[in-house]
Amino acid sequence: MEKKVRATEEQLAYAKILDVGMKTGLLMLLVSFVVYLSGILSPHVPVRDLPKYWSMPVKKYLAATHIHTGWSWLGMIGKGDFLNFIGIAFLAGVTIICNLRIIPIFLKKKDIVYTIFAVLEVLVLTLAASGMLKAGGH
């Protein structure tokens, strides 16, 4: 049986990137939210109009505000509300980077099964992030 009193090399590498990514993402989110609230960049949906929309199902909200799904927010990051999506996307993307980081370590150890797990995880998360998966409306 393999013993692991200390964290393994891949575990430490994963943790290091997760740590930096988490702090960076959280900071980005806070800064962008301050910009949003301060009104430095005008939002796509005025803050005073939000109560009209936040009780709507998402499909109605998107139609009413003329917001498109997927990565279309990238074209709107000049708007105060959409600026926040940089931090959100960063936080949601850190795990992909972490998994990419440990693939070479597993390969170096000739741990083929866990290399496959890491590659599969990257593929699953990338598919989720791609914007290709659209949910039906209600």
Partner 1 sequence: MVKTMVRRYAVLIFLATILLVVLFMSGFAAASSDATSVPAAAASSGVPWWVWPLVLFVVTFLMGIVAVLGGVGGGVLFVPIIGGFFPFHLDFVRGAGLLVALAGALAAGPGLLKKGMADLRLSMPVAVIASSCAIVGAMVGLALPTNIVQTALGATILGIVGIMLMAKKSEYPDVKQADALSTALRINGIYYEASSGHEVNWQIHRTPQGLATFIIVGFMAGMFGLGAGWANVPVLNLMMGAPLKVSVATSKFLLSITDTSAAWIYVNNGAVLPMMVVPSIIGIMLGSIVGVKILTRTKPAAVRYIVIVMLLFAGSRAFLKGLGIWN
- Judged by CB under 8 A, the chain residues 21 through 60 that form the site for partner 1 are 21-23, 25-27, 29-30, 32-34, 36-38, 46-52, 54-58
Q: Closest distance between partner 1 and the C-beta of residue 115, in Å?
A: 10
| Residue 112 binds partner 1 (CB under 8 A) | no
Q: Closest distance between partner 1 and the C-beta of residue 104, in Å?
A: 15
Q: How far is CA 128 from CA 19, 53, 67, 125, 134, in A?
A: 22, 26, 19, 5, 10
Q: Closest distance between partner 1 and the C-beta of residue 107, in Å?
A: 15
Locus of tokens 């993307």: 93
Site for partner 1, residues 57 to 96, rule: CB under 8 A: 57-58, 61-62, 67, 69-71, 81, 84-85, 88-89, 91-92, 94-96
CB atoms under 10 Å from CB of 43, counted, come to: 19
Q: Closest distance between partner 1 and the C-beta of residue 111, in Å?
A: 9
CA–CA separation, 25 and 123 (whole Å): 22
Q: Side chain identity at 14, as an amino acid letter? A: Y
Structure tokens at 7: 């964290």
